[in-house]
Amino acid sequence: MFWRKKRVAFSFRKFRSDTSGATAIEYSLMVAGIAVAIFGVVYAFGDTIAAFYDGLYEAVMGPG
């Protein structure tokens, strides 16, 4: 019974000290944050940007 507890404790310590998946999680959180930021900018300024490019198109190609 003692050896089993010791083995479980060792496995738990090994699991806690393992950081191999931490980098992937950090990168996925950064990507999610960037995606939310891009979505927010597009949502906030989408109509203004569309109007700008519509005006630019009309200036280059002529009306209609």
* Structure tokens, 41: 């900018």
Q: How far apart are CA 33 and CA 28, in angstroms?
A: 9
Q: Quick one: pLDDT at residue 2?
A: 59
Domain parsing of the chain, residue ranges: 20-64
Q: For residue 9, what pLDDT band results from cuts at 50, 70 and 90?
A: confident
Q: How far apart are CA 27 and CA 19, in angstroms?
A: 13
Kindly tell me if the per-residue pLDDT of 31 is higher than 80.
yes
Which residue is it, tokens 């700008």? 52
Q: How far apart are CA 25 and CA 13, in angstroms?
A: 20
Per residue in 33-52, pLDDT (tens digit) is: 999 999 999 999 999 999 99
